[in-house]
A and B are shown apart, each in its own frame.
Chain A
Amino acid sequence: MNSEKHLHPVAMLIGAIKTVRRWVSALVFPGIAFLVSQGFSVWTITLFVLGIVFVAALAGLWGFLSWRATTYVVTGDAFRLRQGVFQKRERTIPLEHVQSVDTVQRVIQRVFGVVEVRIETAGGGASEPDASLSALSREAAETLRRRIEGSSREATGPTVLRRLSVRELLVAGATSGQIGVALSLVAVGSQFVDNFFSEEFIRRLVETFAPNWLMVVLIVVPAGALLAWLLAIAGTILAYAGFTLSREGDFLYIKRGLIERREATIPLSRIQAVRISEGVLRQPFGLASLRVESAGYGEDSGVSTTLFPLLPRDEAQNLLAAAAPEFALDPTLNPLPRRALRRYVVRSIIPALFFAAAAALVSYLIFGAALGLVALLLILPAAVYGWLRYRAAGWVFEEDRLVVRNRSLGRKTTIAPRRRLQSRVVVRSPFQRRLRLATFLARVASGSGGSSLRVIDIEAEAVGTLAENLGPGVRLEGA
Chain B
Amino acid sequence: MKDEPAERLDPRAKVLWRITGLLKLLPLLVGAGLAGWALVRFGGVSFLVGVMPALAVVALGGVVVGMAPGLRWRRWRYEIRPEEVDLQRGIFWVSRTLVPLARIQHVDTRQGPLQRRFGLSTVVFHTAAGPNQIPELSTPVAAEVRDRIAELAKDQDEL
Contact = CB atoms under 8 A, between A and B. Distances in A.
Which of B83, B90, B99, B132 has the most C-beta atoms of chain A within 10 angstroms of its own C-beta? B99
B2 A468 contact: yes
Nearest to B96: A426
Contacts of B99: 422-423
Interface residues of A, number: 31
A450 B130 contact: yes
B129 A423 contact: yes
Given A423-B132, A450-B129, A472 B95 contact: no
Nearest to A425: B97
A417 to B, nearest CB: 10
A313 interface: no
A51 to B, nearest CB: 53
Contacts of A295: 128
A339 interface: no
Interface string B106-149: 00000000000000000000011110100000000000000000
Contacts of A465: 1
Given A422-B99, A423-B127, A450-B128, A472 B93 contact: no
Contact of A422 (B2, B92, B127): B127
B48 to A, nearest CB: 25
A410 to B, nearest CB: 23
Contacts of A450: 127-130
Interface in A382-429: 419, 421-429
Which of A422, A452, A475 has the most C-beta atoms of chain B within 10 angstroms of its own C-beta? A422
Contact of B93 (A427, A463, A475): A427
Interface string B66-87: 0000000000000000011000
A129 interface: no
B97 A446 contact: no
Contact of B94 (A421, A427, A467): A427
B129 A472 contact: no
A376 to B, nearest CB: 29
B12 interface: no
B98 A445 contact: no
B46 interface: no
A68 to B, nearest CB: 42
A443 interface: yes
Contacts of B51: none
A450 B101 CA distance: 17
Contact of A467 (B1, B92, B93, B129): B1
Contacts of A472: 83-84, 100-102, 156, 158
B25 to A, nearest CB: 25
A30 interface: no
A235 interface: no
A295 B105 CA distance: 14
A444 interface: yes
B90 A424 contact: no
A430 interface: yes
A356 B127 CA distance: 43
A463 B94 CA distance: 14
B1 A473 contact: no
Contacts of B1: 426, 463-465, 467-468
B98 to A, nearest CB: 5
Nearest to A452: B129
Interface string A454-468: 000000000111011
A429 B92 contact: yes
A419 B97 CA distance: 17
A444 B159 CA distance: 14
A450 B1 CA distance: 24
A242 interface: no
Nearest to A433: B94
A424 B159 CA distance: 16
Contacts of A475: 158
B103 interface: yes
19 contacts: A295-B128, A296-B128, A421-B103, A422-B129, A423-B98, A423-B103, A423-B129, A425-B97, A427-B90, A429-B92, A433-B94, A444-B129, A446-B129, A449-B129, A463-B1, A467-B96, A471-B98, A472-B101, A475-B158
Given A422-B129, A425-B96, A472-B101, 17 more contacts: A422-B99, A422-B130, A423-B100, A423-B127, A426-B1, A427-B96, A428-B95, A433-B94, A443-B129, A467-B1, A467-B96, A467-B98, A471-B84, A472-B100, A472-B102, A472-B156, A473-B83
Interface of A: 295-296, 419, 421-430, 433, 443-446, 449-452, 463-465, 467-468, 471-473, 475
